[in-house]
Amino acid sequence: MEEHLLRNSSDNSFPWVVQKYGGTSVGKSLDSICRIVESYLSGSRVALVCSARSSHTKALGTTNLLLQASREALQPPSARPTSGSGSQTPFFPKRVGSGFFSEARTFREPRESRERESSTSTKELSSSMISSISSLSQLEFTRSSSPSPFQPSPSARNRSPPLTPLTPGVNGGVDETSAFHETVDVLKKGHLEAARQSLRPGPLRDELEDEIERDCESLRSFLCAAQIIDEISPRSQDSIVGTGERLACKIVAAALRDKGIDSELVLLDNIVDASMQALSDPQLTSSGDQGVAQLGQDFYDQLAQRLGERIRECGTRVPVITGYFGPVPGSLLAQIGRGYTDLCAALCAVGVQAKELQVWKEVDGIFTADPRKVPTARLVPVITPDEAAELTYYGSEVIHPFTMEQVIRAQIPIRIKNVDHPAGSGTIIYPDEGFPRGIDSSPPAALRILEEEKDKIEGRMPTAVTIKDNIIVLNIHSNRKTISHGFLARIFGTLDRAGVVVDLISTSEVHVSMAMQDFHAQRRLDRLVKDLERIGEITVSKDMAILSLVGRNMRNAIGSAGLMFSSLAKAMINIEMISQGASEINISCVIENKDAVKALNVIHESCLTIKPSRSI
């Protein structure tokens, strides 16, 4: 049976294609993913990088649930709901070899025995469990006699760290009613259902289900431990979030195998080791205790090289790589932020010198506006990295901004494609001036489309319009105890200490308005306002949105801003704040959230709809 499995070619002249699958694609279109991989295997070698599952939207996806569970674990008992929550009790799987999975990682036990274990009281958690905090990020499969997607290829096996067992003990500090138990249950249920829907009944599916149970219970134990010590460090938070990609990749690797494609699960929890921690750039370390060294290009170069080596270790098996690659110095979420799997895929593409990085989504590519909100939105065939980055920063989560620099440095084109419409040409992200000088191997397909589109691109002013919602505006009016430069310095110092990112800012000598993402915790906002009140009088406007018109052709265009603002005025949409200039390719303003979708459609109609006689 093994011989009939489809594999990557062993011929090194076959080009690599790195395919990144987003959370909604993994959550909703697993069958399509398998078919796409199969279709590429005849002409190239394929490596997959996957995000955590989202069965509806990213907002309701696994990563958000994991972050929610972390918050819930730290909630004081008084803030918790009093009603009982599902199965609050963790169980501690014993590991006995079953043949398909590695011995060290497998637990197959009679159901009664599992139920007995699951009745172990949470009060019996031991300090050894707390010490297992670090082990969540270190779990990896080791050898077994039968190959499975979950076992690393031989050359990668000796890297597997020993597994720290989770052992029940005695502890009185765990609250069995904490809401995170319910959140973990929701995650487990969703992944088990996905496994059952995607794989045929049989040993592979059974073992996948056990893996899911096991990972979810490790997560539960981890959260229990965090609750006891009443702290989740940024590094621990990363490990918690990494569970999402771990679970998703197990399902994808197993589904590929079930459909006859020889796959290998690649966990990246150890890809960044101590030697690489030193590669963050000390010059950019911000002052003060909270400063974290920034990740420099040396770090990314080394990581790309390691990822390339790890992919090649899979031999002819198709690597299914977790887009999670923590722990990185200063934490993955703090340094890279959400959407980190795009960057991981980019570095994989650089590591194997792929001919193309494909980012597979649930849309045909990048549109002139979010197609869910603007029915007349059109596909943009070619877009520059700057434009794609602006769109992502301002609400259209197209691609993580750090991704593009890495692949473009390595002269690799990025193509955004639709899992449900693989025949479409998608959107190519392609630098305005082509790839960096000295490279004569620009991708012919990208160039062809660029040439065909040239007239249209030049005739069209902006490229897309986007909205970022859930915004607040903080207005600060100086108390005039300092002159202007001191005023701004104190504001920025306060924001830096609070770790707040400002999306838009507009200033006069005594007045500053700043638009930023609303805070999860009202307490954090209250604290920030209190600190800023030492500098001036503060007012806060809530329920706002940032509307941004993006386009490289606006750099030299006269009238884009005029058309944008007059169109909003005609539609009776009030503008709270305006900002143009920080980026020559972006004009932004803040409006009320309730007007967001209307504004998108108004601007799309007035600035982005091709009308033969229109000139901007």
Ligand X SMILES: N[C@@H](CC(=O)OP(=O)(O)O)C(=O)O
Q: Which is nearer to ligand ADP, 426 or 536 (CB)?
A: 426
Tokens of 421: 């419409």
What amino acid occupies position 167? T
Q: Which is nearer to ligand ADP, 307 or 388 (CB)?
A: 388
Contact call for residues 112 and 210 (beta carbons, < 8 A): no
**Which one of ligand ADP, ligand X, none interacts with residue 152, CB within 5 to 8 A by kind?**
none
Choices 151-159, 356-364, 497-505, 548-556 (CB under 6 A): range interacting with ligand ADP: 356-364
User: Would you give the DSSP letter of residue 129?
Assistant: H
- Closest approach of Cβ 9 to ligand X, in Å? 28
Q: Which is nearer to ligand X, 27 or 536 (CB)?
A: 27
Is residue 355 involved in binding ligand ADP (CB under 6 A)?
Answer: no
Rule CB under 6 A: choose which of 16, 18, 22, 474 binds ligand ADP.
22
Q: How would you write 547-589 as a 3-class SS string? A: EEEECHHHCCCCCHHHHHHHHHHHCCCCEEEEEECCCCCEEEE
Tokens of 151: 């076992």
Is residue 604 involved in binding ligand ADP (CB under 6 A)?
Answer: no
Is residue 370 involved in binding ligand ADP (CB under 6 A)?
Answer: yes
- Closest residue to ligand ADP, judged by C-beta, is 22
- Closest approach of Cβ 339 to ligand X, in Å? 4
> Which string of DSSP letters, residue by residue, matches 473-529?
EEEEEE-SSS-HHHHHHHHHHHHHHHTPPPSEEEE-SSEEEEEEEPPS-HHHHHHHH
User: What residues have CB less than 8 Å from 202, skipping those under 6 apart?
Assistant: none
- Closest approach of Cβ 268 to ligand X, in Å? 13
Alpha-carbon gap, residue 594 to 38, rounded angstroms: 45
Contact call for residues 515 and 546 (beta carbons, < 8 A): yes
Q: Which is nearer to ligand X, 282 or 337 (CB)?
A: 337
How big is the site for ligand ADP, counted in residues (CB under 6 A)?
A: 21
**Which one of ligand ADP, ligand X, none interacts with residue 426, CB within 5 to 8 A by kind?**
none
- Closest approach of Cβ 23 to ligand ADP, in Å? 4
> Which string of DSSP letters, residue by residue, matches 435-446?
SSTT-----HHH
Q: Return the H-helix or E-strand segment holding 356.
A: strand 356-361
**Which one of ligand ADP, ligand X, none interacts with residue 371, CB within 5 to 8 A by kind?**
ligand ADP
Residues 445-464 touching ligand ADP, rule: CB under 6 A, are 464
- Closest approach of Cβ 490 to ligand ADP, in Å? 36
Is residue 237 involved in binding ligand ADP (CB under 6 A)?
Answer: no
Is residue 58 involved in binding ligand ADP (CB under 6 A)?
Answer: yes
The Cβ of residue 38 has, within 10 Å, a number of other Cβ atoms equal to 16
Is residue 345 involved in binding ligand ADP (CB under 6 A)?
Answer: no
User: What residues have CB less than 8 Å from 379, skipping those under 6 apart?
Assistant: 364, 365, 366, 367, 424, 427
Give me the residues that bind ligand X (CB under 6 A), please: 22-23, 51-52, 58, 63, 244, 323, 338-342
Is residue 23 involved in binding ligand ADP (CB under 6 A)?
Answer: yes
**Which one of ligand ADP, ligand X, none interacts with residue 323, CB within 5 to 8 A by kind?**
ligand X
> Which of 378, 388, 380 is CA-nearest to residue 408?
388
Distances (CA, A) of 606 to 380, 459, 569, 615: 17, 15, 12, 11
Which residues contribute to the site for ligand ADP (CB under 6 A)? 22-25, 54, 58, 361-363, 366-367, 369-372, 391, 396-398, 464, 466
